C-alpha cells in the first residue's frame, strides 16, 4: 500500500515556480510517510504535480512511482495506492492485445489497461485501490476509488486547483487550505459519527471520492462517474447451489488476496470470520511448505474484568487457543495495556484527521503497530457481518422497524452533552433522518420483496454503504499508520454483489445467524468455531482504563481552556463523568458505550486543538 497526493491546475504553469511547488509535493509526501516508508517519488509538469510514498509489496524494485508511460505520442502518469488481485489475468489479456510491460507490478497493469481501453478498464479490476492518472495530451486528470472504498481518496477544489490526497492531512499541506468545519461537519461528528455520509469529508470544501466512482478534472470542470453500485436482482439459485457458489467466491477471494512478494499473516480472534480466512491461508501456505503467522488481541487483565453482555457474549482467548492449535500456526498473543490505549487516542485521531472509533480505534492502532514490526501484509475477517447479516439489527424486530440507522437507534445520549444553543443550531435529528432517507432511496427494492425482506435489504445496503465503510476506514488508517497493509477478503465485489441478493432464509437458514457462511466454513474449521456465537472486536473492561479517561476529560473541563467547551455543556458532562460507567448500552454499533463516549469527546478535543479547527456556526 501507499500514500498518494497531488494537485492539478490547467490555468497555472507550475514549472514557473518549480522549487515552490516541489516543496509542496515534498510536504505532502512527508505528511503521508507512514503509509509508505519504503520509497517516495515526485512528479511535476506545467499543470500537474504528483507525490507518492510506497510500501513495497509487489515487485519492490520495479514498481516505483510516479510511473510514466509514453503512448500515442503523449505521456500518461499514475500514482496508485492499493493491490490488484487479478493482475495476472489482466496482464495476459493486455499482452494478447499487443501491450508490453517493463515491470511485474500491478501499477503498470493498471496504467497499461487504462491506455488500452480508457477509464472503463476500472470495471475489470478486482482489488482495493485509489489512484490518479494524468493524461498530458488531453490535459485531463482522473481519480479512481475501489468499489467499496477500502482505500481512501480525499479532494478539494481550491480556486482553480484540484488537490487530492489519501488523507486530509495531505491536502492541508497546500498553502491556503486550512481546516474549517461548518454545521454540516458538526452534524457528521455528533449525529452520525464515527460514521460519515458517503463522500462527506467533514471538513468544509473537502470531499471524498465515492466508492465505485471516478472523477475527471479538466479546465476547472469536475465530473463524477459511477462505475459500480450494488444492484438488486432476483436470486434464482437453490440453497445447495448458493452454498457452493458462495464458497467458491469466498475461497477465490481469500486465495487471490494472498498474492505478495513479502510474507503474509492473519488476524485471528477465534471467531468464525477471521478463523476461516486464517484456515484457508494456512492450507495454501502448507502446500508451499510454509507456516502461517497469526496474531490475536487482548487487554491487560481482561480475563479478570471481562463482562459478558448481549453484544459481547464471550472472551476470545479460549477460542484463539483452539484455532492456533488447529492451524499449527506461528501464533503471537498481543496485549494492550490501559495507558497505551488511552494515550493512543490522540494518534488514532491523527491517523484519520478526525475523531474516530475512540478506543476501539486506538487499541487496533496499538496492535497494528506491533504486527508491523514483523509483517507488511495481513489478511483480516473484517466485513463478514455486514455481508452475511451477523449483527442484531438484521434479525430483531425493534431494529428492523426503527426507521433510522440501526446501529444508532437513539440520538438522545449524544445530544445530552451539547449546549442547548448548539443542539438547536445543529438539528441533529432532522440531519440524521434526512441522511437515512437519502440512503434508503438508493436501494433497489424488488416487487417480490415483502415488508420484512424489504427492511432487511435496506439494512443490508446501509451496512455496506455506511457501517462497513466506517470499519474499513478504521482498518486502513490504523494499519497504514504503521506501514501495514490490511486486506479484507469479505469485501470482494463479486462476493458482496452475489450475497447481497441471497434471501434471508438462506443467509440464516434454520434461524441460525450467518448460517450460509457457517456452511461454507465447515470443511475448514472445528465445529466449536464454526458455530460459535458472534462476539465482536474485543475491548477492555478494566476499571483503571475508564478512570484514566474520566480524569483526563475532567481535567480539560476544569481548566476551561478546551475548545470542546464551545460545543458541549460543562455541567451536563461533569454530571455524566460522576455516574457509574455503562458498558451494555451502545450509542454506536455494539462496542461504543459509556466509556467510549468519554474517549470520543477526548478525541474531539484533540482534533479541535491540534488542527486549530475554524468553526463556522
pLDDT for 247: 98
Q: At 526, is the pLDDT very low, low, confident or very high (cuts 50, 70, 90)?
A: very high
For residue 305, the model assigns a pLDDT of 77
Q: Residue 531 in 3-state DSSP?
A: coil
581 CB neighbour count, 10 Å cutoff: 19
311 confidence band (pLDDT: 50, 70, 90): low
pLDDT tens figures, 132-142 = 999 999 999 99
Cα of first residue to Cα of last residue in the chain, in angstroms, is 38
The structure's pTM equals 0.96
Distance CA 200, CA 155 (A): 11
Quick check: 342 pLDDT over 90? yes
Grid cell 503512448 is found at 71
What is the percent of the chain with per-residue pLDDT over 90, rounded to a whole number? 85
pLDDT of residue 64: 82
The predicted-structure confidence for 453-469, as pLDDT tens digits, reads as follows 899 999 999 999 999 99
Active-site positions? 2
Is residue 583 very low, low, confident or very high in pLDDT (cuts 50, 70, 90)?
Answer: low
The runs of H, that is alpha helices, within 441-514 are 451-462, 468-480, 493-500, 504-507
pLDDT per residue over 206-244, tens digit each?
999 999 999 999 986 999 999 999 999 999 999 999 999
Looking at residue 310, its pLDDT comes to: 64
* pLDDT tier for residue 337 given thresholds of 50, 70 and 90: very high
Least-confidence region, from 15-29, 64-78, 173-187: 64-78
- The whole-angstrom separation of Cα 513 and Cα 604 is 36
Residue with cell 432511496: 441
Sign, CA dihedral 248-249-251-255, equals positive
- Regarding predicted confidence, which is higher, 316 or 281? 281
**What are the Cα distances from residue 592, in Å, to 341, 357, 363, 540?**
15, 8, 13, 11
- pLDDT for res 414: 94
**pLDDT per residue as tens digits for the range 359-389:** 999 999 999 999 999 999 999 999 999 999 9
Amino acid at each position: 500500500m501507499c500514500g498518494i497526493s497531488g494537485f492539478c491546475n490547467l490555468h497555472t504553469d507550475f514549472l514557473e515556480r518549480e522549487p515552490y511547488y516541489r516543496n509542496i509535493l515534498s510536504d505532502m509526501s512527508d505528511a503521508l510517510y507512514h503509509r509508505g516508508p519504503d520509497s517516495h517519488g515526485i512528479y511535476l509538469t506545467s499543470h500537474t504535480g504528483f507525490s507518492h510514498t510506497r510500501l513495497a509489496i509487489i515487485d519492490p524494485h520495479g514498481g516505483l512511482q510516479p510511473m510514466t508511460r509514453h503512448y500515442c505520442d503523449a505521456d500518461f502518469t499514475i500514482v496508485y495506492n492499493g493491490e490488484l488481485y487479478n493482475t495476472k489475468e489482466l496482464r495476459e489479456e493486455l499482452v494478447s492485445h499487443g501491450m508490453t510491460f517493463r515491470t511485474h507490478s500491478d501499477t503498470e497493469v493498471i496504467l497499461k489497461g487504462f491506455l488500452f481501453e480508457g477509464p472503463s478498464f476500472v470495471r475489470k479490476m478486482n482489488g482495493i485501490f485509489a489512484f490518479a492518472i494524468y493524461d498530458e495530451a488531453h490535459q485531463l486528470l482522473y481519480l479512481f476509488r475501489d468499489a467499496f472504498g477500502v482505500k481512501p481518496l480525499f479532494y478539494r477544489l481550491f480556486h482553480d486547483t484540484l488537490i487530492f490526497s489519501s488523507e486530509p492531512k495531505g491536502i492541508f499541506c497546500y498553502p491556503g487550505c486550512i481546516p474549517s468545519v461548518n454545521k454540516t461537519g458538526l452534524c457528521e461528528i455528533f449525529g452520525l459519527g464515527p460514521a460519515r455520509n458517503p463522500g462527506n469529508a467533514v471538513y468544509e470544501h473537502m470531499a471524498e471520492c465515492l466508492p465505485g466512482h471516478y472523477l475527471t478534472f479538466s479546465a476547472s470542470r469536475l465530473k463524477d462517474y459511477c462505475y459500480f453500485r450494488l444492484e438488486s436482482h432476483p436470486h434464482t439459485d437453490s440453497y445447495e447451489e448458493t452454498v457452493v457458489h458462495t464458497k467458491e467466491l469466498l475461497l477465490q477471494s481469500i486465495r487471490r488476496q494472498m498474492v505478495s512478494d513479502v510474507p503474509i499473516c492473519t488476524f485471528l480472534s477465534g471467531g468464525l470470520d477471521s478463523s476461516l480466512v486464517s484456515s484457508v491461508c494456512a492450507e495454501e501456505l502448507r502446500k508451499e511448505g510454509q507456516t502461517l503467522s497469526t496474531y490475536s488481541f487482548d487487554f491487560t487483565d481482561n480475563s479478570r474484568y471481562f463482562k459478558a453482555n448481549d453484544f459481547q457474549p464471550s472472551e476470545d482467548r479460549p477460542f484463539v487457543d483452539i484455532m492456533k492449535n488447529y492451524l499449527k500456526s506461528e501464533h503471537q498473543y498481543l496485549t494492550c495495556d490501559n495507558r497505551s490505549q488511552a494515550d493512543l487516542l490522540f494518534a488514532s485521531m491523527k491517523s484519520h484527521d478526525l475523531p474516530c472509533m475512540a478506543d476501539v480505534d486506538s487499541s487496533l492502532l496499538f496492535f497494528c503497530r506491533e504486527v508491523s514490526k514483523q509483517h507488511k501484509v495481513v489478511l483480516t475477517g473484517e466485513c463478514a457481518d455486514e455481508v452475511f447479516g451477523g449483527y442484531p439489527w438484521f434479525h430483531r424486530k425493534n431494529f428492523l422497524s426503527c426507521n433510522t440507522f440501526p446501529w444508532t437507534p437513539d440520538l438522545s445520549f449524544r445530544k445530552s452533552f451539547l449546549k442547548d444553543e448548539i443542539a438547536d443550531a445543529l438539528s441533529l435529528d432532522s440531519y440524521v433522518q434526512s441522511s437515512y432517507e437519502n440512503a434508503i432511496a438508493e436501494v433497489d427494492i424488488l416487487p417480490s420483496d415483502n415488508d420484512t425482506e424489504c427492511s432487511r435489504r435496506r439494512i443490508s445496503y446501509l451496512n455496506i454503504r455506511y457501517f462497513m465503510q466506517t470499519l474499513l476506514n478504521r482498518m486502513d488508517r490504523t494499519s497504514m499508520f504503521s506501514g501495514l497493509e490490511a486486506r479484507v477478503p469479505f469485501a470482494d465485489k463479486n462476493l458482496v454483489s452475489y450475497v447481497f441478493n441471497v434471501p434471508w432464509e438462506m443467509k440464516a437458514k434454520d434461524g441460525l445467524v450467518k448460517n450460509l457462511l457457517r456452511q461454507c466454513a465447515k470443511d475448514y474449521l472445528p465445529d466449536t468455531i464454526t458455530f460459535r456465537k458472534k462476539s465482536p472486536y474485543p475491548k477492555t473492561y478494566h476499571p483503571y482504563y475508564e478512570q484514566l479517561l474520566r480524569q483526563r476529560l475532567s481535567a480539560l473541563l476544569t481548566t476551561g481552556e478546551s475548545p470542546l467547551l464551545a460545543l458541549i455543556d460543562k455541567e451536563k458532562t461533569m454530571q455524566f463523568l460522576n455516574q457509574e460507567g455503562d458498558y451494555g448500552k451502545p450509542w454506536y454499533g455494539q462496542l461504543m458505550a459509556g466509556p467510549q463516549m468519554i474517549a470520543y469527546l477526548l478525541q474531539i478535543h484533540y482534533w479541535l486543538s491540534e488542527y486549530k479547527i475554524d468553526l463556522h456556526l
